[in-house]
Structure 1
Amino acid sequence: MLPFHLAANYLLYRLRAFKLHGVHSPFVFDLYHRVIRHDGDYYAYPLVEDLRASLLFEDRTIPVTDFGAGPKAGLKKVRKISYITRTSAKPAKYAQLLFRLAAHFRPGTIFDLGTSLGLTTSYLAMGNKQASVYTFEGCPSIAAEAKVNFKKLGLQHVQQVIGNLDDTLPKQLQEVKQLDFVFFDGNHRYEPTMRYFKACLSKHHEYSVFVVDDLYWSAEMKRAWQEIKQHPEVCQTIDLFYIGLVFFRKTQPKEHFTLQY
């Protein structure tokens, strides 16, 4: 069951959300029909989901340092692999959407800000095997588990960046020419979310795709999403409730869509 604040926001989202026939932008109409609402299968789905299933039954424990949001951020603890998979991994519905987005837009440089055990990163990497994929994780022990998972899936084009995102993101941004795709899943608070977003804007271009996770996870994330929508560089956004898509296409009118998903 959803927490009360999420349930209330979800009800408002459902009241605002359009279906396919309510979208008049050709770009968004095509994206919604061909990518967002696509319900077929791809080769990557069973590979990653079989891995997820095995991790959900993994009782082994590892030491974890939490760099994200919440009152226990920064504390060290011991967690089961199964617990991390159940609570931190993106559900298949949304992780597979990220795969389809990567397959559709064919980004050359992908930043995944929040590796966890690597399931979402794997979907992004399998969406375009010619991409340079940089995945950021603060906790070394979790990063080590993700590395094993990338090896199981044969993903040799994933580069892990380990350490506090406040330190690693600015350094890695200096090493890339441009950002084609970014998934923001590293810290669910207003200030760091906006700081990471603005930092990545320094390497965006007209056809970049930014994806923001957990738009309504908290009042802070809701505020961040509203501010992102109003940023002068942002031209189009698509609110799918749990994630938001951000585009910078200046040849398209500035529009914000709330679509059923």
Structure 2
Amino acid sequence: MLHQLKHYIKHSLKSFHLHGIHSPFVFTLEKKCLRDKDHYEQYGEMLRFRESLQYNHTILNIKDYGAGSRVFKSNVRKVSDILKHNSSDQKSAALLMRLCSYFKVQQVLELGTSLGIATQAMAISKPDVHITTVEGSPEVQQFAVQSFNDLGLKNIISICSKFTDFLADHDSSYDLIYIDGHHDGAATLAYFESCLRFAHNNTVFVLDDIYWSGDMTAAWDQLCHHSQVTASVDLYDLGLLFLRKEQLQERFYIKL
């Protein structure tokens, strides 16, 4: 908690608004997507899905391959508790929806489905988007699949697998890659490296919980200096990485 508070203060001091951004690409991204205050009809769908899970007391046995939980002492958890402590909040889910729409993405890879809050947000962002989402915990993955079926979402491929196994055997190209599920710095670096072969010049990487721990923050800092990363946008809750060769390497701090 102290680590997060310290870096929240640092982030706030480093953040700036439109007049401080000299990259036309990032300037437009902030103005038309990150700070977009319009109300989209998808927000209502997202809120209804979240509310359907809020009082769902189904018990799931969690198989955790990641850094573990700071809240839960047991791997037996209620859906409502997972929603409260381990799922994307409404603000982050809405941003993911807007990013998919803004960049006109067609193929999305998500590492870490959980209950599918972020998955659903991206899946309803635009008619032609297709989501491949990977979840390591079988009961969580099965619960999410049932939710997607109940919502009538036909554009989601859900895979139950360890991330390392999936990445080793998979070969495709994605416009947006969302990494959320391990919360370990070394693992995050390894996932990014593995996902580079799925990326193209306009792929956007989205990383969750970049200030979750010291090693996650160190991994984020290392990725910002990666030889193939040309722009990074630090939103505190999320981090965006771009590989655009026409962009000079630069770090941006934006407080939403």
Q: TM-score range by the shorter chain?
A: over 0.9
Match of 2:29 in 1: 31
Residue 234 in 1 paired to residue 234 in 2? no
Unaligned runs of at least 5 residues, structure 2: none
- Are residue 205 (structure 1) and residue 205 (structure 2) matched? no
Q: Which residue of 2 is the match for residue 63 of structure 1? A: 61
Change (3 A) 1:27 1:19: same
Is residue 244 of structure 2 the alignment partner of residue 249 of structure 1? yes
In the alignment, is residue 120 of structure 1 matched against residue 109 of structure 2? Answer: no
Query: How many pairs does the alignment contain?
Result: 254
1:187-206 residue pairs with structure 2 within 5 A? 187-206=182-201
- 8 Å CA contact 1:66–1:76 kept in 2: the answer is no
CA contact 1:237–1:257 (8 Å) conserved in 2:
yes
Matched, 1:218 2:213: yes
Q: Could you tell me the TM-score, scaled by structure 1's length?
A: 0.93
Which residue does 1:110 correspond to in 2? 108
Give the secondary-structure state (helix, strand or coil) at the position aligned to 1:202.
Answer: helix
In the TM superposition, residue 24 of structure 1 has moved relative to its aligned partner by 1.5
Distance 1:60 1:115 in 2: 17
Partner of 1:165: 163
TM, length-normalised to structure 2: 0.95
Runs of 4+ off more than 4 Å: none
Deviation of 1:128 (Å):
3.0
Report the counterpart of residue 139 of structure 1 in structure 2: 137
Taking a change above 3 Å as real, the CA distance of residues 246 and 165 of structure 1, as seen in their structure-2 partners, is same
Q: Which amino acid aligns with 2:203?
A: S
Identity level (%): 35
Shift of 1:131: 2.3
Read off the aligned partner of 1:12 and give its amino acid letter: K
Is contact 1:69–1:187 with CA below 8 Å preserved after alignment?
yes
Question: Cα deviations across residues 172-221 of structure 1 (Å, max 9, x unaligned)?
Answer: 2x2x1x22110010211111101100000112111010011111100111
- How far, CA to CA, are the matches of 2:198 and 2:134 in structure 1? 17
Residues of 2 paired with 1:15 and 1:103: CA distance? 30
Residues of 2 paired with 1:152 and 1:218: CA distance?
A: 36
Write out per-residue CA displacement over residues 139-179 of structure 1, whole angstroms, 9 at most, x where no aligned residue. 1111111112212322101001102112122222x2x1x22
Q: Which residue number corresponds to residue 78 of structure 2?
A: 80
Distance 2:140 2:68 in 1: 18
Shift of 1:77: 2.5
Distance in 2 between residues matched to 1:90 and 1:106, nearest whole Å: 22
Structure 1: segments with no counterpart, 5+ residues = none
Q: Which has the larger displacement, 249-258 or 91-100?
A: 249-258
How big is the shift at 1:60?
Answer: 2.0
Deviations 1:28-63 (A, max 9, x none): 111100000011111211111111112111122122
The change in CA–CA distance for 1:71 and 1:93 in structure 2 (over 3 A counts) is closer
CA distance in 2, matches of 1:160, 1:92: 22
Structure 1 residues 68-107: Cα deviation after superposition (integer angstroms, max 9, x where no partner): 21379xx972111100111111111111000000011122
Matched letter for residue 66 of structure 1: D
RMSD over aligned CA atoms reads: 1.5
Matched residue type, 1:116: S
The structural deviation recorded for 1:108 is: 2.1
